[in-house]
């Protein structure tokens, strides 16, 4: 997550919290309890957000199996939209293409 530390200094990764092998529900509950936003390529989290709202907020990356540098570029391009998502209580999920 150091690649994005200049724009999202508190960003983390499931691996840093021993969640890599956990279920989507476990990750959802961890994010909810710890005030994290989930950034994912997994449509399941976007659907869960539509059903239950937030927290947690969800950023759904719609870039397929892109290399890391493209994912980073997508997040950087969406930086202000992501910040708006985090600030607006009525916003629950953001799709980035």
How confident is the model over 24-59, as pLDDT tens digits?
999 999 999 999 999 999 999 999 999 999 999 999
Residue 26 lies in domain: 2-96
Question: What's the mean per-residue pLDDT of the chain?
Answer: 96
pLDDT at 71 over 90: yes
Query: Taking the model in full, what pTM does it have?
Result: 0.95
Through-space distance between the first and last CA atoms of the chain, rounded to whole angstroms? 20
Task: Specify the number of domains making up the chain.
Answer: 1
Angle ∠(86,90,94) on CA atoms, nearest 5: 55
């Amino acid at each position: 997550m150091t690649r994005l530390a200049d724009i999202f200094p508190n960003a983390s990764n499931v691996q840093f919290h021993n969640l890599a092998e956990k279920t989507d529900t476990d990750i959802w509950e961890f994010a909810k309890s710890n005030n994290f936003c989930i950034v994912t390529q997994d449509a399941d989290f976007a659907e869960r957000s539509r059903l239950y709202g937030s927290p947690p907020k969800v950023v759904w990356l719609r870039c397929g199996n892109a290399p890391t540098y493209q994912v980073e570029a997508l997040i950087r391009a969406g930086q202000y939209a992501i910040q708006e998502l985090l600030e607006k209580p009525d916003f629950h999920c953001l799709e980035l293409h």
